[in-house]
Amino acid sequence: MLNMTRPRIMVAPNGARRGKSDHPILPLTPDEIAHAARTCRAAGADALHLHVRDAAGRHSLDAGLYRETLVALQEVEGLELQVTTEAAGRYDPPEQFACLQDLAPSWASVSVREINRNSEIAEPLYTLCAEQSTRVQHIVYDAQDLALLRSWRDAGIVRPEQDEVICVLGAYSPARHGHPDELAALLPEMTGLRFSLCAFGPQEQNCLIAAAQAGAAYLRVGFENNLHAPDGSEWPDNAAAVAALKAELERVLS
What is the mean predicted confidence (pLDDT) over 106-126?
Answer: 98
Work out the average pLDDT over 47-52. 98
Tens digit of each residue's pLDDT (9 = 90 or more) over 152-199: 999 999 999 999 999 999 988 788 899 999 999 999 999 999 999 999
Residue ranges covered by each domain of the chain: 8-253
Select from 174, 237, 239, 244 the least CA-distant residue to 204. 244
67 confidence band (pLDDT: 50, 70, 90): very high
Distance, CA of 3 to CA of 249 (rounded, Å): 11
Mean pLDDT of 118-134: 98
Query: Are 26 and 20 spatial neighbours (Cβ–Cβ below 8 Å)?
Result: yes
pLDDT at residue 175, rounded to an integer: 84
Using the predicted structure, report yes or no on whether residue 119 has a pLDDT greater than 60. Answer: yes
Region at 57 (left for phi over 0; alpha for psi -120 to 50; beta for the rest):
left
pLDDT (average), residues 114-132: 98
- Average pLDDT for 88-107: 97
Q: What are the tens digits of pLDDT across the range 214-248?
A: 999 999 999 999 999 999 999 999 999 999 999 99
Cα 3 to Cα 233: distance, rounded to the nearest angstrom: 30
CATH superfamily label, 8-253: Aldolase class I (3.20.20.70)
Instruction: Answer whether residue 109 shows pLDDT above 50.
Output: yes
Percent of the chain with pLDDT over 70: 98
Q: Kindly tell me the sign of the dihedral angle through the C-alpha atoms of 235, 238, 243, 246.
A: positive
Please tell me the predicted confidence (pLDDT) of residue 4: 54
Cβ 26 vs Cβ 235: under 8 Å: no
* pLDDT, position 2: 41
| Residue 211 pLDDT exceeds 50 | yes
**Who's near 96: CB < 8 A, 6+ residues apart?**
61, 85, 87, 110, 114, 115, 125
pLDDT of residue 171: 86
Average pLDDT over residues 47-55: 97
Q: What is d(CA 109, CA 177) in angstroms, rounded to the nearest whole number?
A: 22
Question: For residue 90, what pLDDT is reported?
Answer: 96
For the chain, the average pLDDT equals 96
What is the pLDDT at residue 254?
A: 83
pLDDT score of 1 more than 50: no
- Cβ-contact 78, 41 below 8 angstroms: yes
* pLDDT for the residue numbered 188: 94
What are the pLDDT digits (tens) for 138-155? 999 999 999 999 999 999
pTM: 0.96
